[in-house]
Structure formats: C-alpha cells, structure tokens
Amino acid sequence: MKILIVEDEIELSESIVSYLKSEGYLCEYALTYDSAIDKISLYAYDIILVDLNLPDGNGIQIIRKLKESDFKGGIIITSARETLDDRISGLNSGADDYLIKPFHLAELNARIKSLTRRVLFKGGNTITLNEIKIKPDAHEVYIKGKLMDLTRKEFDLLLFLVTNKDRVLSKESIAEHLWGDYIDSADSFDFVYAHIKNLRKKLTNKGVGKYLQTVYGVGYKFIEN
Amino acid sequence: MKLLTKTTLFFLTIALFVLFGGGIVFYFSFRYIMNHEVKRELVTEMHQVILHPPQGNIIGIDSVVFNLPVHYQILPVKDIHNPTFVFRDTLLFDNIMGRYQPYRMLSYETNLDGKPVRISISKSLLMSDELIEYVAFVILLLSLILLLFIIAFNNYFFSRIWGKFFKTIDVIKDYNISDKKEITFPESEITEFNLLNQVFEQMHERIKQDYQNLKEFIENISHEIQNPLAIIKSRVDLLLQDEDLNKSQTDLIQSIQNSTIRLSNLNRSLILLSKIDNNQFPDKEEVSIVENINYHLDNFEDIIQSKNITLHKDYNNQITILADSNLISIMLLNLLKNSIYHNVPSGNIEIITEVNKLIIRNSGKELDINKEDLFKRFTKSSNKPESLGLGLAIVKKICDYYHCSIQYFCQDNFHTITIIFN
C-alpha cells in the first residue's frame, strides 16, 4: 500500500511517514504543490493526504487534478481550517475524509485504515487479531466465532486500539477519538479509564488473552502477542 | 446645552442690549430734540409778544389767553428783578380736559407800555410727551418682532445648516467596524462640514485598514500556530512509542501533551471568536434548537450516565430560529457541556423550552467567580485551572451575534441560564 503525503511542514511529514512506515505502508512526501503534481503524474498511490495550505498552491487543486486523472484511491484532507464550509468544500472536491490539524498520529492511522476498507475493499474487509474478528461496517465483533455484545463506544474503542495495535495510545488521543468535543479534558482520564476497564472485563470474560495493556502514566496499548 | 439654545440665547442677549441701550439713547435724544423745539417755539413766541405787543382785545395786561397748546399770561410786577428768559416746567389747569397738564413755561420780565410786567408763555408738553410715548411703543414693538424673528430664523437656519452635520453624526453613531457596509457622509454646502466629513472618511479608511490588517494577522497567526502544534502532537505520539521511557519521562511527555491540547483548544476558540467578530457566518437556515439539543445529548449520553446525572427534558416548543446551524450547535454544545462538567455527582439537569425561550438549569457548586464576569473571556473557576474560560464567552458572542439575550442566575446551588431568542 502506497501513501503520498502532501504537507509543507517537513517535520510533520516526517512524523507521519515514520508512524505509517511501521504500519507497513510505503510512504513518500511532497513539500510543495509542484512536487505533489509531479509525483502523482509519475507514480500510482493508494492513498493521498493533502494539506490545503501549500506555499505554492491550494490542495483542492491537487484533488481536482487527481479526480480528472481518474484516481481510484482514497484522499484525506489535513487542514487547520475547521469550519463546516471548509469541510464541505473539501469533501465536495472529491476528498473522502477531512482531518483537522493538529491531530494524533493514531487518529490519522485509524482514518487511513477505515478509508482503506471503505475505498479499496469496498467495506467487505474484516480485521482479525488472533481470536478477535472485527467487522467494522457491521459494527460487530466475534470472539472465537461468537458475536460479542459491546456498546457503541466500546466497539469504537476496541476498533481504535486494534487499528493501532502494538502502539502506545495516549488517553488524550483515545478521548479525542471517542468523544471529540464532547469530552472535557479534565475528565478524560477517568472516562477513558472507565471504558477501558469495561472493555477489558468483557474481553477477559470471553476468554480473550491479556492484549489490552496499561502503559503507566501515558495510556494504553493493544498487543498482538 | 444645545448649540441652538446657546446661539439663540447669545443673539437674544445681544439684541436685548442693543435694543434696550438704543431705546434709552433714542428716548433721551428724542426728548431732548422735542424740548429744544418747544424752547425754540417759546422763544419765538416771546419775541413776537415783545416786538409786536398784542393788541388790547387779543391779549392785555393781567389777562390770560388760552390758545392751546400755547398759553399766554401777562402779569404786572412791582419791579423788574431778572430781565432774562426763565424756563420752567409747570402744571396748568386745562379747562377742556378738566385736569392739570404739563406745560413748559417761559417767563420774561419787561416793561410793556411802560409798565413792568412778567410775560409768561406756556406750551403744552402733552403733544410731545404723547409723541415720545408713541415712538417708544413702536420701538418696543419692533424690538419684540425682531426678537421673534431672530428666534425663528435661528431655528430655521440651524436645522438647515446643521442638519447635514447631524446626519454625519448619525452615520458615525451607526458605524460598526465589523460591518462590511460602506459609509457615506452627506454632502453639504458648508466647507467646514465637508472638511469634517473628509476627516471622518480618512479616519474610517485608516481604521478599516488597521482592522483588516489586524484581522488577517489574527487569522494567519492562528492558522500558523496549528502547524507547529501538529508537529508537537505528532512528535509526542512518536516519542510515546519508545519502549525505554521511564516514569519521569512519561510524566514530562504527559505534561507536554496536555499543554499542547490546551493551546490547540485555545487557538481554536480564539479563531472562532474572531470569525464571529468578523461576521464570517452569514449563512442562515432554519435551525431547530430542540433537535440540536437532542443530537448533543445523544453524544453526551454515556458521560451523563457515568456521572449519574438525572436529566429532565420539558420541551414545550421546538424553537426554530434563522441562523448558522454550526454556530447554534457550538453554542448549545458549550451550554450543555457546562451543565454536565460543572455539575455535582448525582446532580440534575433541566432543559426547558418555551416559545422563543430556552432554559438550562443544573445543580452545581457555588460560583467562585463574579457573576458579572461570567461571560467574559478567560474567566474561570479556581476549581478548574485547566479550563480555558472561553466557553461562555463564545456562547455570549453567538447570542449577541443573533441579538438573543442571555441571563444567568443562581439560587440554592442551582445554576440557571436563560436564552431569549428573537
């Protein structure tokens, strides 16, 4: 799977590449509008991340060019602009998702995975991790073939953890992913903790291994082995 | 004091002084001239009597002849004491009028037909006094008319000339820098007013320019801040993946992470506030307050449950308003968030809607900040130092933006926010 990151901040591009590379993606980045246009005309990518504000052009133009060239992959806009109008115009231009800066890398990863399932596997994909099988579109989780009863938030939490498996996820990134603007930062720790506790209890009850680990003082980690 | 009153009073004072002073001068000079005339006539009369003594049948010694308004009297005297003209004012009985009237009398002692006599010629002052009175009355009348005209003309010219000035004032009064409306000042035939308008126009241009620069600066800086924040956030995420972190290091990372989130939220809130200030939400659509609240409550559901908060909904009206749905959503989200996070464990929230009226009540600790400061930016409770103190400032701003009124009131540890929509 090949990803192009169009982002003029080199340090941010590097962070994204570094995170996504260990997920097994092939990553390249373009720091300017021109180099982005060069790259998309020369190589084929599965997913393209586009920053809207580029020093020598607008990310929307890149998306239009991609759509003209019959691009079949997924496009995610990353932008500091967060009004509804910006989002709507971004999505109308043909982008599949809109991620507001600053974002957590885990969040970006989850969005890419979700987009991959939606666009490249047409939603029919299932995620398997040892005895756990997740059908993201049906919102169903099977443990050793048996359907598991989870609340909506617990399902989202499990999917987020599994998507970012073997990664340390800070409680902030979990809180932001699950509740967004609805969580108060002062309360987020207790909240995430309570939900993790419930999820862990349910998984343990079903005989799932101790994959969900606490990284003291930081957050949580879902390990495969 | 109004300029009109001031100028009118000023003119009236001057006019009164001039008229009063002029009246006195006129009165006395007129009187002087009249007196002088009477004297001259008396002297002429006297000369005629002396040079052409009256014939016996007309006037004789020791006789009184009434020949109004001139009155002759020739009386014999023993000696001639004072052979000069003596003038004096006197009252003589007027047979026709039947009362005493003022006369000016000229007496002269001389020998008439060899006998010493005193010739007195008196001339009635009635005519001249009446004339003076009449003239004085006319002057007074003219003065009054003049004064009335001054007031009337002053009023007329004031409204005519200063009308444009007041239009300029109205334009400035209605002036709002965040309005995109162009302002135009009324053209006047008066140079000074046009100069004033010109100065205002230049000032307006300058303010507009400064405001525009400031606005762009704030927008740019806010967006530029998001990029370094994105870098910090992504770097911290990568740092967290390090297996060899010890506790003090993770504590540091934690602290960096928290501050980054706060800074990012602060920045987002400030961008929002500045966007509202800049009138960047011109879209209007029918927004249902109740639908919006229900949508947010769905998302808050597990949070409300975990805090064991009891929620009472009393919807008597849907409340639909014409507004930007995004802004209304942000406003309601902030209000509901406050009612949840500033609540007490096992507390209550009541949401009541009536016609054009939304009431959100929640239990909570007493405020440790001034009630008056509640809607100001960066006002926060000492219990929640990590809060930005911008939530209610944003709510207030949105309310102001749509001309809704918002009130806060607290009783028995129950906080009530009432919004009245227009």
How far is A70 from chain B, CA to nearest CA, in Å? 31
Higher local confidence (pLDDT), A96 or B181: A96
Mark yes or no for CB contact A84/B241 under 8 Å: no
How far is A203 from chain B, CA to nearest CA, in Å? 20
Q: What percent of chain B has pLDDT over 90?
A: 21
> Looking at the complex, does the CB of residue A171 fall below 8 Å from at least one CB of chain B?
no
The answer to whether position B183 is within a domain reads no
Mark yes or no for CB contact A82/B231 under 8 Å: no
What pLDDT band is residue B180 in, cutting at 50, 70 and 90? low
C-alpha distances (whole Å) from B367 to each of B343, B349, B358, B383 are 12, 17, 21, 10
Mark yes or no for CB contact A182/B337 under 8 Å: yes
Q: Domain of B225: which CATH number?
A: 1.20.58
The answer to whether position B20 is within a domain reads yes
Mark yes or no for CB contact A217/B229 under 8 Å: no
Cis peptide before B345 (omega within 30 of 0): no
On whether the CB atoms of residues A84 and B326 are closer than 8 A, the answer is: yes
Mark yes or no for CB contact A104/B262 under 8 Å: no
Q: Domain of B314: which CATH number?
A: 3.30.565.10
* pLDDT value at residue B35: 83
How far is B3 from chain A, CA to nearest CA, in Å? 51
* pLDDT value at residue B108: 84
Mean pLDDT value of segment B102-128: 80
DSSP states along A27-45 = EEEESSHHHHHHHHHHS--
d(CA A219, CA A221): 7
Mark yes or no for CB contact A183/B303 under 8 Å: yes
Higher local confidence (pLDDT), B69 or A112: A112
* pLDDT value at residue B155: 86
> Looking at the complex, does the CB of residue B256 fall below 8 Å from at least one CB of chain A?
no
Residues B390 and B316 in one domain: yes
d(CA B277, CA B225): 20
Residues B252 and B289 in one domain: no
The answer to whether position B370 is within a domain reads yes
Beta bridge partners of A77: A50, A98
- Hey, what are A88's tokens? 């709507």
* pLDDT value at residue B281: 82
The set of long-range contacts for B250-254, using a CB threshold of 8 Å and a minimum separation of 24, is B250/A215, B250/A216, B250/A217, B250/A218, B251/A217, B253/A218, B254/A170, B254/A217, B254/A218
Q: Give alpha helix (H) positions in B278-366.
A: 289-306, 325-341
What pLDDT band is residue B178 in, cutting at 50, 70 and 90? low
Task: Tell which residue, A189, A188, A213, A186, has the closest CA to residue A199.
Answer: A213
Which of A158-162, A185-189, A204-208, B196-200 has the lowest average pLDDT? A185-189
Task: Domains for chain A: give ranges and CATH numbers.
Answer: 2-120 (3.40.50.2300), 127-222 (1.10.10.10)
* pLDDT value at residue A156: 92
Beta bridge partners of A134: A127, A141
Q: Is B407 left (phi over 0), alpha (psi -120 to 50) or beta?
A: beta
Half-sphere exposure of A130 (CA within 13 A, CB side): 12
CA dihedral (B274, B257, A28, A180) positive or negative: negative
How far is B229 from chain A, CA to nearest CA, in Å? 6
Q: Is the pLDDT of residue B57 over 80?
A: no
Last residue of a domain, one of B223, B258, B277: B277
* pLDDT value at residue A51: 92
pTM of the shown model:
0.68
Q: Which residues of B touch A219 (CB under 8 A)?
A: 240
Whose tokens are 């709510």? That residue is: B395
Task: Tell which residue, A187, A170, A190, has the closest CA to residue B383.
Answer: A187
Q: Could you say which of B237, B262, B387 has the minimum Cβ distance to residue A19?
A: B237
The answer to whether position B401 is within a domain reads yes
Mark yes or no for CB contact B250/A215 under 8 Å: yes
Q: What does the mean pLDDT of chain B come to? A: 84
The answer to whether position B154 is within a domain reads no
Residues B58 and B78 in one domain: yes
Q: In this predicted model, what pLDDT tens digit does every residue of A20-79 receive, in sequence order?
A: 998 889 999 999 999 999 999 999 899 999 998 888 888 999 999 998 888 888 999 998
The answer to whether position B182 is within a domain reads no
Mark yes or no for CB contact B241/A167 under 8 Å: yes
Beta strands A127-129 and A132-135: pairing type? Answer: antiparallel
> Looking at the complex, does the CB of residue A172 fall below 8 Å from at least one CB of chain B?
yes
Whose tokens are 């399932």? That residue is: A117
Q: Could you say which of A16, A103, A168 has the minimum Cβ distance to residue B240?
A: A168
Residue B225: domain span: 192-277
**ipTM score of complex:** 0.86
A60 phi/psi in degrees, rounded to 5:
-60, -40
